[in-house]
Amino acid sequence: MPPRRPLWLRAPRAPGSPGVVPAVFPATYKGKIEKSRSEATRISTLYNKQQRLQRNTRSALSQLDRVIQKLNQDIQAFHSSSRALLRDYQDEYQDHVSEIVTAVQRTQQSAETLLACQAKVVHLEQALQDVSARHQLERQRRKVLHNSLVELKGNIRVHCRIRPLLPFDSESDDPVLQSSSISREVAHAVDDETVLVKCDRPGHPLINKTYHFERVYGPAESQRVVFGDVCPLLTSLLDGYNVCVMAYGQTGSGKSYTMLGPHSDDGPVLPLDPQSDLGIIPRTAEELFRLISENPSRSPKVEVSIVEVYNNDIFDLLAKDTVAAVSGVKREVMTAKDGRTEVALLASEAVGSASKLMELVRGGLQLRAKHPTLVHADSSRSHLIITVTLTTAACSDSTADQACSATLPREQTEAGRAGRSRRTSQGASAPQPVPGDPAGRAEQVQARLQLVDLAGSECIGVSGVTGSALRETACINRSLAALADVLGALSEHRSHVPYRNSRLTHLLQDCLGGDAKLLVILCISPSQRHLAQTLQGLGFGIRARQVQRGPARKRPPSSQTEGKRRPD
């Protein structure tokens, strides 16, 4: 109910109304009354506004109270969840602390165990080093003793070299060989004395064979390493022994690379770079003259001759013959009165340095017969034989022992002395003064070094040769077969050895028969494409190892060996 207005604000009653006394107000009072009415209206308006404001305030306060209550509820819920989370965190914290403590304890135990293992490892490493050192020493001693045994038996030393795979090894018409699932490499160097040939082709029997040699060189072995095993033979050459180094293998197996180095139209050059790929022949020339320079008192004379056996004929590649401008002069094998074989009218030139020797070798190589085949673009069609004859003043055993002691390990020196004493007891010839020289100053000994680069055996179906090259291949294979027959006869100690079945074996009769220290370097291909030739070459090497020729003998003085020669 709206409030009642004050009496003084009420409207006056009309005249004649009961209870109303008409009055007459002065004008001043009328103005005040109007002013009061205006003020009353304004106050009433303000009052109404205040009433509305109070209502709004009460409504806002009510909403705020509800919000505060909701907030209090949320705070209480947050406090509850916080307390629960804190309890969970404390539980997790305790669990993790326990795990960390356990892990630390385990780590400490592991650290102690690791220290014990490290100490044990150090001890084992030291023991392994000691065992390895003893093993290496025993291997060296075994090798020295083995070499001494080989020398006493006169066995042919056979080293096997496996060349790397080359691009043309993958060229084949056989779809089986082109299959990527089959390994193209079948020959492997197991260690430095063993070759493993393993091949498993569909439709063929499994091949898994091992071959043992005095030394095996893998595809990664350098020319320097190969020559390192040839060096001791040069010392034997200076001591008066004949020496022969022969490279055997199929076409493209790396024989010429091993003996001469990479193919070059200019031939091998000197001086040598220690990291170069030059082969045995240029390295031998350099090392030989180095050894000579270390003992100039013996005043050796070095002569060189070069021949090739081509189509079973012998050609002198140093002969000064204007008719044979592009090839050597044909020669014949002669048999001396004492049974030694030589080439009649063979040209030889004296050399005083390694560079001069290699100059002659380069000249001879330019005349050597060559012909491209499907296997090798620069295939040698002849057997090359470079002979270095060393004529030197003879020395006593004591002098030789001193010279050997300066260049060889103690074990090898002692083995060499023992070998010399045994050879002397067996009746080996000792140097004698030349007749007619009262002072005995002309005592001389000739020793011969033969470096042989054999032509490669070929399968005609693989090499694809025709015409004259086919005849060359037939002659090469026959001469190599004759060489294998000679080794077979020697290994079986037959009464007759067929040296004269081929000019090659007849020319090499002295070194094959035991008058020289012979090293055969057997070169093979690791490719499955050449498996048959690889097995044939390995068989040749095994047959060569079985030859026992007796101890090599020093060449007697030239004054005792001169005699009339007769043609074969």
CA separation for the pair 50, 139 (Å, rounded):
120
CA separation for the pair 247, 259 (Å, rounded):
7
- Cα distances from 515 to residues 52, 163, 380, 528, 550, in angstroms, run 141, 31, 28, 38, 9
pLDDT score for 405: 42
Asked if the bond preceding 271 is cis, omega within 30° of 0, the reply is yes
**Percent of the chain clearing pLDDT 70 (strictly above):** 73
CA separation for the pair 294, 292 (Å, rounded):
5
Say which DSSP state 105 is in. Answer: H
Residue 223 marked ligand-binding: no
Mean pLDDT of the chain: 79
C-beta of residue 313 within 8 angstroms of C-beta of residue 506: no
Instruction: Compute the radius of gyration of the chain from its Cα atoms.
Output: 54
User: At residue 381, what are phi and psi to the nearest 5 degrees?
Assistant: -105, 15
Residue 487 pLDDT greater than 60, yes or no:
yes
Largest CA distance in the chain: 202
| CA angle 352–357–360, rounded 5-degree value | 130
| CA angle 261–301–552, rounded 5-degree value | 75
pTM over 0.85: no
Residue 253 marked ligand-binding: yes
Tens digit of each residue's pLDDT (9 = 90 or more) over 44-99: 999 999 999 999 999 999 999 999 999 999 999 999 999 999 999 999 999 999 99
| CA angle 353–358–360, rounded 5-degree value | 100
Query: SS3 for 258-295, per residue?
Result: HHCCCCCCCCCCCCCCCCCCCCHHHHHHHHHHHHHHHC
Averaged pLDDT, 510-516: 84
CA separation for the pair 153, 373 (Å, rounded):
40
CA separation for the pair 482, 457 (Å, rounded):
12
Residue 530 pLDDT greater than 70, yes or no:
yes
Which residue in the block uniquely carries the two structure tokens 């084949």? Answer: 172
3-state secondary structure (DSSP) of residue 504: helix
Between 158 and 167, the more confident residue is 158
Between 503 and 400, the more confident residue is 503
- Which pLDDT band holds residue 15 (cuts at 50, 70, 90)? low
Averaged pLDDT, 17-32: 64
Tens digit of each residue's pLDDT (9 = 90 or more) over 204-240: 788 899 999 999 999 999 999 999 999 888 988 888 8
Between 113 and 340, the more confident residue is 113
Residue 252 marked ligand-binding: yes
Averaged pLDDT, 389-403: 60
Say which DSSP state 19 is in. Answer: T
Between 406 and 252, the more confident residue is 252
Tens digit of each residue's pLDDT (9 = 90 or more) over 454-481: 988 876 655 555 667 788 888 898 999 9
> What letters, b where the CB count within 10 A reaches 16 and e where it falls short, cover 173-206?
eeeebeeeeeebbbbbbeebbebebebebeeeee
CA 60 to chain centre: 94
| Runs of H (alpha helix) within 160-230 | 175-178, 223-228
Residue 180 pLDDT greater than 80, yes or no:
no
Tens digit of each residue's pLDDT (9 = 90 or more) over 281-321: 999 999 999 999 987 777 789 999 999 999 999 999 998 76
Which pair of tokens denotes residue 557?
């003085």
Tens digit of each residue's pLDDT (9 = 90 or more) over 40-55: 998 999 999 999 999 9
C-beta of residue 371 within 8 angstroms of C-beta of residue 381: yes
pLDDT score for 498: 93
Which amino acid appears at position 514 of this protein? G
End-to-end CA distance of the chain: 164
- Cα distances from 327 to residues 49, 262, 314, 390, in angstroms, run 139, 23, 11, 27
Residue 267 pLDDT greater than 70, yes or no:
no
C-beta of residue 199 within 8 angstroms of C-beta of residue 190: no
Burial of 434 (0-12, 13-18, 19+ CB in 10 A): middle
CA separation for the pair 130, 119 (Å, rounded):
17
Residues near 155 by Cβ (< 8 Å), separated by ≥ 6? 149, 545, 546, 547, 548, 549
pLDDT score for 374: 57
pLDDT score for 145: 78
Tens digit of each residue's pLDDT (9 = 90 or more) over 328-376: 788 998 887 777 888 988 999 999 999 999 999 999 888 888 766 655 5
**Percent of the chain clearing pLDDT 90 (strictly above):** 42
Averaged pLDDT, 550-555: 70
- Cα distances from 506 to residues 332, 483, 497, 565, in angstroms, run 11, 9, 10, 15
- Which pLDDT band holds residue 522 (cuts at 50, 70, 90)? very high
Residue 437 pLDDT greater than 70, yes or no:
no
CA separation for the pair 385, 398 (Å, rounded):
34
